Amino acid sequence: MKYTIKDVARKCGVSIATVSRVLNGSKPVSKELAEKVMKAVNEAHYKPNSIARSLILKKTNLLGVVIPNVSQPFHGLALSGIEEIASQNGYNVIICNVFDSLEKELKYFKILEEKQVDGIILMHESTSSEVINFIEETHIPIVLASVLIEGVHLPSVKIDDFKASYDAVKYLIDSGHRNIAMICGKEITAGDYRSKGYYKALTDCGLHINPQYMKEGSFTVRSGYEIMKQFLKLKPLPTALFAANDEMAIGAINCILDHGLNVPRDISVVGFDGIEWSSIYRPRLTTIQQPIKRIGMEAAKLLVRILNSGNCDISDITLDYQLIVRESSMSR
């Protein structure tokens, strides 16, 4: 037999409105009454209608998370931080895994609007006019986690990608390297900001910028491997490589070793992110350590704060990072 809210109210000897107040927390009731109602709810195995409840409260307790690829270590760890904070605050998470597809991203935005999610966390950078139009027109609060979207200002949580890249390249320069290659990304943060940090470090140290030493990857081990093959054909050969993420750095190391060279004796390699792989791969990877899980946690906290206050004009959050020096790099 399926019990209704009427059955619970009858069992307690109270009104349906009183049961609703207890379940929704919409108005204060005495501790004794709340315990009496909840006891009846549990005994009757009553399950409130979530759709009806959301219509009454004008709140679904759902958060959407738009993510490029949940299988990548960075995004998986950040997502775990988001889910942890969401759960602590009574929210459930809808994961939208877009695989860098604009069509999928727009489809998921439509679904999130239909589901009437309370807020969205974006971990995917997109500068398409369709995405920007959605962001500008939607009433749903949005927070960015570790990314930026050009031409749109939204509350964000990230590190200073420009400065972190600058520090990584400056470390290689201070270690005696002069021919330093970089594998950058397509996005604003991993592409524009991190490559600008690379260029700035070289120019500040009076080093020549060789355009052949800069190539664009796709954040996978395979792309790092394939691009490193191109670098190995150059003369002079780079003595160091800076990759915009750890997976591309690891792919590059595999390529260097497969071509009979040594890391770091022949070529030093520095990555970016500090995923778990960086500490267990051999040689262990020198990298910029981002607080990945904390980025997710702080993004979720920021979104919850916006939802509770109704104020979207909240300052961005910039977290600290650390250069972790390991066996993949050495002085010349």
Q: Domain extents for the chain?
A: 5-57, 62-159+293-319, 161-289
Amino acid at 190: A
3-state SS assignment for residue 234: coil
First to last CA, the chain: 77
According to CATH, the topology of domain 62-159+293-319 is: Rossmann fold (3.40.50)
3-state SS assignment for residue 308: helix
Same fold, 5-57 and 62-159+293-319: no
Ramachandran area for residue 116 (φ above 0: left; ψ -120 to 50: alpha; else beta)? left
* Tokens read off for 282: 């051999």
What's this model's pTM, rounded to 2 decimal places?
0.83
* Tokens read off for 52: 């009806």
- CATH: 3.40.30.10, 3.40.50.2300, 3.40.50.2000, 3.30.200.20. Which one for 161-289? 3.40.50.2300
Phi, psi angle pair for 215, to nearest 5°: -140, 155
The pLDDT tens digits along the chain (332 residues) read 566 777 777 888 888 778 777 776 666 778 777 778 778 777 777 776 554 454 444 678 999 999 988 888 999 999 999 999 999 999 999 999 998 788 899 999 999 999 999 999 999 887 678 888 888 899 999 999 999 888 788 999 999 999 999 999 999 999 999 999 999 988 777 788 999 999 999 999 999 999 999 999 999 999 999 999 999 999 999 999 999 999 999 999 999 999 999 999 999 999 999 999 999 999 999 999 999 999 999 999 999 999 998 777 778 999 999 999 999 999 98
Nearest residue to 151 (alpha-carbon basis) of 133, 171, 172, 177? 133
Determine how many CB atoms are found less than 10 A away from the CB of residue 324. Answer: 16
Decide: 286 and 279 in contact? Cβ < 8 Å. Answer: no
What CA–CA distance (Å, rounded) separates 295 from 184? 21
What CATH number is given for 5-57 in this structure? Answer: 1.10.260.40
- Helix segments in the chain, DSSP class H: 5-12, 16-24, 31-44, 50-57, 73-88, 102-114, 129-137, 161-174, 194-204, 221-231, 246-258, 277-280, 292-309
What CA–CA distance (Å, rounded) separates 223 from 185? 11
From residue 7, alpha-carbon distances to 3, 43, 44, 129 in Å are 6, 11, 8, 52
